[in-house]
Structure 1
C-alpha cells in the first residue's frame, strides 16, 4: 500500500510519522518527499492492510503538522518512471543513456532490440562491445555540447547519432559531465525522418489543405469550435483526416501546449482498451507490472484525448467514459481510489451513432454527452473540384521527401483521379501519389503510375465499362453527360453556354456521338 501524508514542512515530522508506524509494527519499505512545496510525504508500506489503515489513520492525523492521510496508487518516483518509460517506448528510434565510462545506463525497446539484449540486461553493458572504433565519452568531452548527425557504424548498419550531454546539477563545464543521451537514426531513412519532422511541424489548421469550398467551410467551422472547452464529435469516412482535424482543434485551443493522445477503439479487446485508456493499479492482474501502469487519460492530464472509432467501444467502456465525462473521475483497473482529471475529449466515428443507439449498441446518454459540438468531414469524392490543387500539394511533398525533381501531372492522370471514387479518401490519394512519384522517371505522372484498385466502383459509374483505355472511358462519360443535358438545352449553342465551351466544340461532339439536334 502507498500513502500520501499531506503535512507541514517542519523539522522532524518524517521521524514522528515513521516512529508511529514502527510502534504499530508496520515496516516502511520506501519514503519520498514531494508536493509543490515539499508539503507531502509518500510512504510505501507493503504489509499494511486496509483494516490497519483504518486504525492508524486517526493517530497519524494527530501528529503535529499532519493535515490528512490517503491512499495513492503510485509514489512520485514510480509515476516519473512510468511516464519516462511511456515516452521512450513511443519512440521508434533507438535511444540510449550512457555514462562517462562508456557504459550503458538505460535504453528503450528499439535500442535493446538493435543491441540484441533484453531491456533489463542493458544497464552496465560496455559500449566498446558494439562501437570498438569510436570513443563516445571522448566525443562528448571534446564537444561538451549537443552533437547532431554523427555518422557511426553499428551492427553492420550506418546510423546518424544525435548526442545530448548530461551535466550534474546546473553546471555546464566538462568536469560536470555525467554522460549523454544518444538517439540513433537510420542513415537510409534520414529523408523520411526529415519529412516526418516537417509533418509534425505542420500539424495545425495550416496543415489542412483547403482545396475545395466544402473543405474551406469545414475548416472555418472547426476554427470557431476549437477554443470551446467542450466535447467534440467528428463524423467522417476512413481516411478523411479526422485525427488531423482533432489535433488542429487541440492546438488552436487553450490546451494547445498540453499533451494530445490518441486511441483507436476499433479492433482492441475490451480489457486492453480499458487498461490503455484508464491504466491499472499495482498487481491488478496476473502479468501486470508491480508498479502498475498509467493510462492515456493520466498521460493527457490538462490536454486532449482523441478517441477514434468510438462507436466500437464495449458497453463497459461506454459506461466508464460516460462517468468520466460527467464528473472527471474514474478508477484504474484493480484500484479502489478515484482519480480525477481535467481532460478534453474529442471523438470520431464513421458510423451512424444514432442508428447504433436505436439498436441498443451505443448508449444514448453517452451520445448526447459527446455530441455537444460536431463536425462532419466530407469524403474526397464530394470535393473533387479541388483535387488538382490537392494532388499538386501531395506531389510536391513527395518529391521533397524523395529528393527528386518535381514531376507534373498529365491531363490524363488528372482525369483519372477526377473520375475515381476514392474509397480511402485523402489518405489513399496521398499514398497513391507518393507511390506515383517514386515510380515516375520521365518527369510526368501518367495514369499508368497511379496504382488504383478498380473494385468497388460507385453507382455513378454503373454501366460504364472500365476495362478500356482512359480515352474510351472518358468518351463514354462525355457521351452520357451530353445526352443527359441536351433535352434541357436543345441546341448546340444553348448547351455550349451551359458547359462553358465553344459552340463548334459542342456541335462536333454531338455529331460524333449521334445525339439528335446537333445543328446550331
Structure 2
C-alpha cells in the first residue's frame, strides 16, 4: 500500500511517523518527501493492509503536525516515471540520457530502433559505439549549457542534436550528471516543424498572407467557408491545400465536428474504397469479423478532405458521385444503405476540366465537386510576399532550434528570389530551416541556401511580364520559336514540330525577325 501523509514541515516529523509504523511492525520500502509546498510525505508499505490502515489513521492524525493521511495509487516518482515513459514512447524522434562517462543510461523506443537494440538492452551501452567523432561528456563540461542543432552522425545518418545538460543549480562542473540527447533527422526537420506549426495554429491564422495573391485567396475562402456545399481546391504540391481546407472547416458551422483526411494518391483502389466507405462483417478474407467503419462514417456531421482526388479510380468516382447526390453509400461487402451528412472538400494538383476533356475524370462528378472552387497560386507567382514569408520562416526556425534570429544576407535572398520553387511554400520552409541550422555567426549566407537543381537554365529563359496579355504572349511565342528554330533546320520541320503549317511558321519568323 502507498500512503500520503499531509503534514507540517517540521523537524522530526518523519521520525515520529516512522516510529509509529515500527511499533506496529509495518515495513517501509520507499519514502519520498514532496507535495506542492514540501508538505507531504509519501510511504510505500508493502505489508500494510487496509484493515491496519483504517486502525492507524487516527494514530497518524494524533501526531503533532499531521493534518491527514490517505491512500494513493502511485508514489510521485512512480507517476513521473510512467508519464515520462508514455511521453518518450509517443515521440517519433530518438531521445537518450547519457552519463558523464559517455554511457547510455536510458532511451526511448525510437532511439533503441536507431541503435538496433531492444529498449532493455540500452543501459550501459557506450555512446561512442554509435556516434562518430563526438565526445558528449567533454562537450557538456565545456559548455555547461544547452546546445541546439549540433550536426552529428549516428550509424552513418546525419542528425541535428539538441543537448540538455543534467546539472545542479550551481555551476560546479563536478555536479554535472550527464545530458539528455534529442536527435532529429536533418532531412526531415523541416517537415517536423511544419507539422508542429500546423497543430499550433488554427484556422486562417495558420496561413501566412504576405502576398497580395494569397490574401485574395484567403478572402475568398473566408466567404466560402460557411457555405455548406462541396469545395474544390486547386494548387501545386506544397502550396497549402490541406491547410486551407482545415481553415475552411474550422470557420464553418461544422467546425466543432471532426475533419478526416484521405490522400487518394498512390492508394490501390481496394484500399482506398475500404478506407473511405468501410466494409461489412466478413467482407473478404482477412477482414475483421465485426467489419470496419470508413472515414465517411467517422466524419458524420463534419468534413471529409480528399487530397489527390484526380487519382481516384473510375469505380470510386461513381460511389463518391452517388454519395454527393443523395448522401448514401454501401460499405464493401454489405447490402445495407448508409446515409450521412458530411461536407466534402477535395484538392487536386491538376486541372480537372482538362482531365474531363480527355475522358480521365467523370464530368458529372467534376460539376458536383466544383460547386465552390479556390485556386492557390504557386510561390513563384507570389514573390511580392517573399520577404515577409522568409522573415516568418526564419523566426519559426530559430525558435524551434533555440538560437538567435539570424540575419539573411543579400546574396542568400537573391538566391531565394531567383529560384522557381517546384515544392512551393513547404519547400521554402524546409530550405530555410536547414539554412538556419547551418548558419554560423548569426548570418544566413548564399552557401547555406541549398536548392536542388539551382542554376539550371530554364527552358525558355527569362522574359518580361510587362504590358498587355498580347504583349506577354508575343514575347513567349518569340522565345519558343527562337529556341526551336535552332533545332529544326526548315520551316516545314518546325511547322511539323509545332503542328502548324510551314507558311505560318515562315510568317512568324519574319514578324519576329528570327533568322535560322
Q: TM-score when scaled to structure 2?
A: 0.54
The answer on 1:333 being equivalent to 2:332 is yes
CA drift of 1:462 comes to 5.6
Q: Distance in 1 between the 2:366 and 2:401 partners?
A: 44
In the alignment, which residue of structure 1 is the partner of 2:444? Answer: 445
Q: Distance in 1 between the 2:284 and 2:243 partners?
A: 36
Give runs of aligned pairs for residues 134-173 of structure 1, distance below 5 A: 138-139=74-75, 157-158=106-107
State whether residues 279 and 333 of structure 1, in contact with CA within 8 Å, keep that contact through their aligned partners in structure 2. Answer: yes
CA drift of 1:445 comes to 0.5
In the alignment, which residue of structure 2 is the partner of 1:410? Answer: 409
State whether residues 421 and 458 of structure 1, in contact with CA within 8 Å, keep that contact through their aligned partners in structure 2. Answer: no
Q: Secondary structure at the match of 1:188?
A: strand
The answer on 1:188 being equivalent to 2:182 is yes
Give ranges in structure 2 of 5+ residues lacking alignment: 1-71, 89-95, 98-103, 110-179, 464-516
Q: Distance in 1 between the 2:330 and 2:181 partners?
A: 45
Give runs of aligned pairs for residues 165-314 of structure 1, distance below 5 A: 188=182, 197-314=196-313
Q: Secondary structure at the match of 2:75?
A: helix
State whether residues 284 and 292 of structure 1, in contact with CA within 8 Å, keep that contact through their aligned partners in structure 2. Answer: yes
Q: Secondary structure at the match of 2:182?
A: helix
State whether residues 231 and 373 of structure 1, in contact with CA within 8 Å, keep that contact through their aligned partners in structure 2. Answer: yes
Q: Distance in 2 between the 1:450 and 1:187 partners?
A: 27
Q: Distance in 2 between the 1:159 and 1:215 partners?
A: 42
Give runs of aligned pairs for residues 385-404 of structure 1, distance below 5 A: 385-404=384-403
CA drift of 1:461 comes to 3.4
Q: Secondary structure at the match of 2:306?
A: strand
In the alignment, which residue of structure 1 is the partner of 2:12? Answer: none
Q: Secondary structure at the match of 1:317?
A: helix
CA drift of 1:434 comes to 0.9
Q: Distance in 2 between the 1:418 and 1:342 partners?
A: 45
Q: Who wins on radius of gyration, i.e. which is larger?
A: 2
State whether residues 233 and 375 of structure 2, in contact with CA within 8 Å, keep that contact through their aligned partners in structure 1. Answer: yes
- For 1:246-284, what per-residue CA distance to the aligned partner results, in whole angstroms no more than 9, with x for missing partners? 010001111111111111111111001111111111111
Change (3 A) 1:139 1:280: farther
In the alignment, which residue of structure 2 is the partner of 1:87? Answer: none
CA drift of 1:359 comes to 1.4
Q: Distance in 2 between the 1:234 and 1:442 partners?
A: 42
Change (3 A) 1:212 1:198: closer
Change (3 A) 1:141 1:383: closer
State whether residues 379 and 424 of structure 2, in contact with CA within 8 Å, keep that contact through their aligned partners in structure 1. Answer: yes
Q: Distance in 2 between the 1:212 and 1:151 partners?
A: 39
Deviates more, 1:272-281 or 1:452-461: 452-461
- For 1:445-492, what per-residue CA distance to the aligned partner results, in whole angstroms no more than 9, with x for missing partners? 1111111012665446369xxxxxxxxxxxxxxxxxxxxxxxxxxxxx
How many residues are paired up?
Answer: 303
Change (3 A) 1:452 1:151: closer
Q: Distance in 2 between the 1:398 and 1:224 partners?
A: 32
The answer on 1:347 being equivalent to 2:341 is no
Change (3 A) 1:460 1:221: farther
Q: TM-score when scaled to structure 1?
A: 0.54
Q: Secondary structure at the match of 1:138?
A: coil
CA drift of 1:353 comes to 0.8
Change (3 A) 1:453 1:275: same
State whether residues 407 and 443 of structure 2, in contact with CA within 8 Å, keep that contact through their aligned partners in structure 1. Answer: yes
Q: Distance in 1 between the 2:380 and 2:237 partners?
A: 13
Give runs of aligned pairs for residues 50-89 of structure 1, distance below 5 A: none
CA drift of 1:226 comes to 0.5
Q: Distance in 1 between the 2:215 and 2:86 partners?
A: 44
Give ranges in structure 1 of 5+ residues lacking alignment: 1-135, 161-185, 464-520
State whether residues 276 and 296 of structure 1, in contact with CA within 8 Å, keep that contact through their aligned partners in structure 2. Answer: yes
State whether residues 408 and 444 of structure 2, in contact with CA within 8 Å, keep that contact through their aligned partners in structure 1. Answer: yes
Change (3 A) 1:380 1:194: closer
Q: Secondary structure at the match of 1:368?
A: helix
In the alignment, which residue of structure 2 is the partner of 1:490? Answer: none
- For 1:283-337, what per-residue CA distance to the aligned partner results, in whole angstroms no more than 9, with x for missing partners? 1111111121111111111111111111111000000000110111111111110
Q: Distance in 1 between the 2:340 and 2:457 partners?
A: 47
In the alignment, which residue of structure 1 is the partner of 2:34? Answer: none
State whether residues 151 and 159 of structure 1, in contact with CA within 8 Å, keep that contact through their aligned partners in structure 2. Answer: no
State whether residues 222 and 251 of structure 2, in contact with CA within 8 Å, keep that contact through their aligned partners in structure 1. Answer: yes
Q: Secondary structure at the match of 1:234?
A: strand
State whether residues 278 and 332 of structure 1, in contact with CA within 8 Å, keep that contact through their aligned partners in structure 2. Answer: yes
State whether residues 410 and 444 of structure 1, in contact with CA within 8 Å, keep that contact through their aligned partners in structure 2. Answer: yes
Give runs of aligned pairs for residues 5-154 of structure 1, distance below 5 A: 138-139=74-75
In the alignment, which residue of structure 2 is the partner of 1:461? Answer: 461
Q: Distance in 2 between the 1:385 and 1:225 partners?
A: 25
CA drift of 1:441 comes to 1.9
